[in-house]
Amino acid sequence: MGNLYVKAVGYAIQNGHYVLERSMLRNYRPWTAPDKLIEDNIWVSKEDRTLRIDAGVVTSWFPFHLLWPRLQDRFRNAAAPTRLAAPLRRDDQPQFRSHSPCKTTGSKPPRQIHLPDFANLPHENELDTDFFGTTDGFRYSPRKHWCFLAEIDSIENFIRLRLIVKSGGARVPIAFYTDDRGAGFASQANRGYTVAVLYAEQHPFLDMTTGMRVEEEQTVKIIPMTLAELLALSDRVGKYSIPQGDGMNCHGCDERKASLMKCGRCSMFWYCDKTCQTHGWANKGNKNDCKVIRTYGLRAMFLLDWNHYSNFVAFPLPEPK
């Protein structure tokens, strides 16, 4: 098996341009497809027999996917939008927590698409149509934005940073394969803090465990608060920042009015007048919430339209105007 992998990788190196031209390999993933069929050294799709790929290219791509993920990304990015570009759409209704579950059939519970736990994340070696869609049948892109949120349970920093997080009752490893092996995040990570990973996918490690492999630091953010605190803040923002019927809820007195003034610092909470603002600041937590929102750049996360995908977004998210 080892010699086969070496030969396949050698084939891929010699024919890199050919692999690059066949960007559909990533989309159709013939090495995992149940309908794969080899005819005269050509992979043929049973679903669409016009789709034919040289079996040598398929064989060479598989060890690339397993052994050289960073090199594989070089080819992958030729057919996918770059994650460094981050155009954002302003939305007056924060949707950080109020996601729409994907439709399902039968008794299977709906999957949480925007803030999935680890069990509901797509697997990097499978094409999950809950998360990815296509308009031309060849190139796939995310249907919506999603972000994995979990609380750090323990930290390992031998050779590379490895965070063990809690998600859905399981302990999940997040290994950093960035250029600095996670050194830039090591000083930020603490037990109990929340880690956010954009467009997270399940990754199988060589030790037979499954977790997440982080290769781009722009997809990760560590927030110095517990997950419960973050979601509670999101709920407060939703209550006092989203129009309710014919008005907005005042954060100070909880009365609904058509005309309110917003907090000049965080722009997330609304008030009837200076008296209500003073009450909200001193007695309802706005002093701390306002500081947290501004310091940790959470306003951009709360205002991102998670339902609308036009391109990958990355941390730090641009602050909406």
How far lies 197's CA from each of 22, 66, 71, 261, 303, in Å? 29, 21, 21, 34, 17
How much is the pLDDT for 84?
27
Token pair of 69, please? 């993920």
Cβ atoms of residues 178 and 216 within 8 Å: yes
Domain range annotation of the chain: 2-76, 107-224+311-321, 227-295
- For the chain of 321 residues, list the mean pLDDT of each consecutive stretch of 10: 46 43 47 50 59 58 48 40 28 40 41 83 90 86 93 96 95 96 96 97 93 96 96 92 86 93 92 95 93 92 89 86 63
How much is the pLDDT for 47?
58
How much is the pLDDT for 181?
96
How much is the pLDDT for 116?
92
How far lies 164's CA from each of 43, 154, 168, 211, 248, in Å? 40, 5, 13, 9, 40
Distance from C-alpha of 51 to C-alpha of 147, rounded to nearest angstrom: 33
How much is the pLDDT for 4?
46
The number of CA neighbours under 13 Å toward the Cβ of 119 is: 9
Token pair of 96, please? 């950080």
How much is the pLDDT for 42?
63
How much is the pLDDT for 197?
98
User: What is the topology classification, in CATH, of domain 107-224+311-321?
Assistant: OB fold (Dihydrolipoamide Acetyltransferase, E2P) (2.40.50)
Distance from C-alpha of 157 to C-alpha of 56, rounded to nearest angstrom: 39
How much is the pLDDT for 192?
98
